[in-house]
Every structure is written in structure tokens, then in C-alpha cells.
């Protein structure tokens, strides 16, 4: 599985639109995640504003690095192994992906097109595949 140049541009452009409301987007993400996967809530012990900033910072790095997947893969692999220590299981990747899509949709409003959605879905599937293989294989 790969993502096209066009998809990379859609992801980067849409993320640039969400960045100004990063705190709000992170809050939407976590509210959705905790609603649909309440078993994930105990994994987060600190200040959620700070956690949201970490999330958005990590997303920013991933979004920027989509043009160089070879350099992104080791970062994702380390991140995945680190998350296992917090209790993250393979089945958590689906609600996380859904929460991300929900937050992006809410944050982008009319800019959330079917093409943008598909670009994010494809990128997330690729990222989740790399991470799950690193953490659970």
C-alpha cells in the first residue's frame, strides 16, 4: 500500500488548515476516542491539553514526513513500541483512526472532501500497518 503525491498534498494542505485550531482538534479527537473506546482512557494519566499538543506535534511530523516514508518508518516503529508500554493493543488502532478522521472532518468543515478523507484513510492505514508490525510481530 502506498499513497500518491496528490494524496500527500491533500493531507498536508488539510493539516495546515487544522493547525490553527490544533487544541480544539485534539480535544475533539480525545472526546471521540474516549467515547467509542473507553478502555483507552486510563492510558492517559497527565494533563490532556499537554497530551493534545503532543498528539498534534507528532501528527505534524508525520504529515511533513510523508514525502520521505523511508525516514518516517523508523520513527513510527519506535513510537509503536513505546505505545505498547502504555497498554496500547492492536485493536486500538481502529478507534484511533476513526477519532482522527472525525476530528479532521469537524475541523475542516466544507474542506473535508471525499478525496481528502480517502487520502487520510490511506495514509493512516499505511502508518497503522507499519506501527502494528513493529509492535506486535
- Residue 2 has a pLDDT of 82
Dihedral of CA 30/27/112/132: which sign? negative
Neighbours of 99 (CB within 10 A): 21
Could you tell me the domains of the chain?
5-136 (1.10.490.10)
Q: How far apart are CA 2 and CA 44, in angstroms?
A: 31
- Residue 71 has a pLDDT of 93
What average pLDDT values come out for the chain (137 residues) when binned by 10 residues? 91 97 97 96 93 96 93 95 95 97 96 97 97 95
- Residue 1 has a pLDDT of 61
Residue at grid coordinates 493534545: 52
SS3 annotation, the chain = CCCCHHHHHHHHHHHHHHHHHHHHHHHHHHHHHHHHCHHHHHHCCCCHHHHHHHHHHHHHHHHHHHHHHHHHHHHHHHHHHHHHHCCCCHHHHHHHHHHHHHHHHHHHHHHCCHHHHHHHHHHHHHHHHHHHHHHHC
pTM, rounded to two decimals: 0.94
Residues 6+ apart with CB under 8 A from 20: none
Amino acid at each position: 500500500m502506498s499513497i500518491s503525491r496528490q494524496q500527500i498534498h491533500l493531507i498536508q494542505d488539510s493539516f495546515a488548515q487544522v493547525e490553527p485550531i490544533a487544541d480544539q482538534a485534539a480535544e475533539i479527537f480525545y472526546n471521540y476516542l474516549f467515547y467509542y473506546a473507553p478502555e483507552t482512557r486510563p492510558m492517559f494519566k497527565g494533563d490532556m491539553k499537554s497530551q493534545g499538543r503532543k498528539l498534534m506535534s507528532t501528527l505534524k511530523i508525520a504529515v511533513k514526513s510523508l514525502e520521505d516514508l523511508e525516514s518516517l518508518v523508523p520513527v513510527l516503529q519506535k513510537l509503536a513500541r513505546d505505545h505498547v508500554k502504555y497498554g496500547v493493543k492492536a485493536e486500538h488502532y481502529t478507534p484511533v483512526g476513526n477519532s482522527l478522521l472525525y476530528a479532521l472532518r469537524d475541523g475542516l468543515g466544507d474542506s473535508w472532501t471525499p478525496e481528502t478523507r480517502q487520502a487520510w484513510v490511506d495514509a493512516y492505514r499505511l502508518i497503522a500497518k507499519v506501527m502494528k508490525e513493529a509492535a506486535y510481530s
